[in-house]
Amino acid sequence: MKILKFGGTSVKDAGHIRSMVDILARLRTQESGGFHVVCSAMKGITDQLITIARTAEAGDQSYKAQIEAIGKRQQEAVADLFAPEGLDDRDNQRLTSEVLAALARKMNELRDICHGVFLVRECSLRSLDLVMSFGERLNNYLVARYLDSLGIPSVYVDARALVITDDSHGRGVVQFERTNTRIRDYFSNQVLEGMIAVITGFIGSTEKGITTTLGRNGSDYTASIFGAALGCSDIEIWTDVDGVLEADPRVVPGAQVIDDLSIEEAMEMSYFGAEVLHPSTMLPAVETNIPIWIKNTMNPIVRGTRISRNPSTTRQSRVTGIASIPKVTMINLVGGGLIGSKGIAGKIFGALGRSDANIIMISQASSEHSICVVIREEELTGAKKALQSELAHELRVKQIQNIEITPNLEVVSIIGGGMRGTPGVSGKLFSSLGQAGVNVVAIAQGSSEMNISLVIHSKDHSNALQAIHRGFFAPDAQDVTP
């Protein structure tokens, strides 16, 4: 059995949904073990839902028009998919009205919730999760009914009944024991025999049934949760590029597909910003050893990227890929009192943890005169407050002179299993950046030696990525020797 996940661009309108269905119809004739499908919301809908919630929270009535825009997009897809011709076809008409009525019920629920947000002028992360869940719920229902209408028996599955998380809204932590049991119980039901489950990506619920989400891009993760729980042979992530590429193709147009990636490399690529995969996608597959494929819905004949425990590679370069995290800020704690002082690092990380800031990168000068941490821009206010309160004493007695903030930065990472014990890699990285005139603000190397990360100014984004790509991947680039 396989799990196939289709992302927002693969289901963004009726035309794309048809391309997806072509892939499924072909697979049905080939795959004797069967398969199930996970879909995202249509491209852009989750962003729109967030804007709607925030607009309503601000007391601005224009959120209503934005809700209607979402409804219209659904209706257009239904009109195109279910009744392109043959208005006299009674069955089709009945089905169309049924689907439209079910979608309208969901839209009414969304209207009610947003009206509540508007009235109380407040949208907690918990309410935001509920609002965001509609993107996947509307779209997967639509897809399931469309498959059914084509004679491909399908069932809509709301993953909130199966994926159980804690109550960390916005990035729910999956409770695997309960989740796996629920998924296995559900799929052992004989009624599902021969049916394709069309499962909502991205969403789950707490044990008490409160809606949660798995973090942006989380539908990839949903696919691997189901894939692992059901012991699938493969997990396929269908998207709008031919696989995981050496770098973001929007910035580095010459980036090529990486045929095979190890699980660790894929984790590092996604953690350091390659949004083609949610960073947690690999977690369930690590234990189960299920290969994850990245494939292109609009170009299905291309093989794609295979992510597995033991990838077969005949790579020319020791660096596998380049990724970047935009919109980060560096907090630099400076002070002679940091030298040899035990426990300060613990206090710093404790305070940042309590403020809910996610530390992307740490670097400490060997003189111990400064400690620098890199976090996302939006987490700065909370992080700074937490540090000022935790380190009030050290700041007063000047053990720490200052908390310096440098905004408008970006983390760039080079990743590759072949980098271990290869000193020439750093030299080449910095000479590539030097030649391109890019100023490096800070550096860190992970202890796995599978990545080297550095901080640059945001304005150097394209220049830096293109220079690094040229340095390691241009046809005439010389490989570094260990």
26's tokens: 């072909």
Q: Which member of 3, 6, 7, 17 binds Mg ion (CB under 5 A)?
A: 7
262 binds ligand ASP (CB under 6 A): no
Nearer to ligand ASP, 135 or 227 (CB): 135
The strands making up 361-364's β-sheet, listed across from edge to edge, are 361-364, 370-376, 321-334, 402-415, 451-457, 440-445
| CB neighbourhood size of 185 (10 A) | 10
Distance CA 16, CA 12 (A): 6
Query: 372 has which bridge partners?
Result: 332, 363
415's tokens: 């990743």
200 binds Mg ion (CB under 5 A): no
- Listed ranges 102-110, 214-222, 290-298, 348-356: which one lies at the site for Mg ion (CB under 5 A): 214-222
311's tokens: 């990838």
Residues 262 and 311: beta-carbon distance below 8 Å: yes
- Please name the residue that has the structure tokens 């469309």: 146
Least separation in angstroms between residue 217's CB and Mg ion is 4
* Residue 456, SS3 per DSSP: strand
The residue at minimum Cβ distance from Mg ion is 217
Least separation in angstroms between residue 320's CB and ligand ASP is 24
Distance CA 13, CA 75 (A): 11
Q: Which member of 2, 3, 4, 8 binds ligand ADP (CB under 6 A)?
A: 8
Residues 205 and 173: beta-carbon distance below 8 Å: no
Among ligand ASP, ligand ADP, Mg ion, none, the one that 218 touches (CB under a kind-dependent 5 to 8 A) is ligand ASP
Site string for ligand ASP, 213-252 (x = CB under 6 A): ---xxxx---------------------------------
Q: Which member of 9, 10, 46, 180 binds ligand ASP (CB under 6 A)?
A: 46
Give the number of residues in contact with ligand ADP, rule: CB under 6 A: 19
Q: Which residues 282-341 are close enough to bind ligand ADP by CB under 6 A?
A: 321
274 binds ligand ADP (CB under 6 A): yes
Q: Which residues 238-257 are close enough to bind ligand ADP by CB under 6 A?
A: 239-241, 244-245, 247-250
Residues 409 and 458: beta-carbon distance below 8 Å: yes
The three-point CA angle 379-384-387 to 5° equals 125
Site string for ligand ADP, 40-59 (x = CB under 6 A): x-------------------
Q: Which residues bind ligand ASP (CB under 6 A)?
A: 7-8, 40-41, 46, 135, 201-202, 216-219
